[in-house]
Amino acid sequence: MAASQWFLLLFLSLAAMWDICLFTIPNELTLTAFLIGLGLMPGVAFVARAMLVLLLFVPFSRLRFIGGGDVKLYAVVAAFLGLKGFWMCFIYGAFAAGAMAIISLVRHRDRKGVIPLAASAFAGYAIYLIAA
């Protein structure tokens, strides 16, 4: 695995732990990941991928479908993986989020319908790495 893949795995694991415990993803963590990624993979394409995903996902955040931290997390993932890799990771993560929602409903510990999406993004990336 390349250094950027290891770093993304580390970033997503930290974000997942934070999101599971506190239901928030610190801006400092996301910004640090973005800046380190820019150092590992310099170029306009890195920034352009992040900006595209931000533009696509911000409306969902404004409608309160997903949190702002999740939008920024997805932007960093897209910047690292490229758009094709991002969408694969996103789809795998969506299945993981669905499984988490079902488990939450079965266990009757629904936290107002809140699912820590960073955890599902981590799971989606892990599946993406295994499938690749």
Q: In the prediction, which pLDDT does 67 show?
A: 93
Q: List, for residues 36-64, the tens digit of each pLDDT value.
A: 999 999 899 999 999 999 999 999 999 99
Domains of the chain by residue range: 3-131
Reported as type and span, the H/E element at residue 26 is none
Which of 40, 28, 117 lies closest to 71 in space, CA to CA?
A: 117
Give mean pLDDT, residues 80-94: 97
pTM (two decimals): 0.92
Residue 50's φ and ψ, nearest 5 degrees, are -65, -45
Q: In the prediction, which pLDDT does 96 show?
A: 95
DSSP state of 44: H
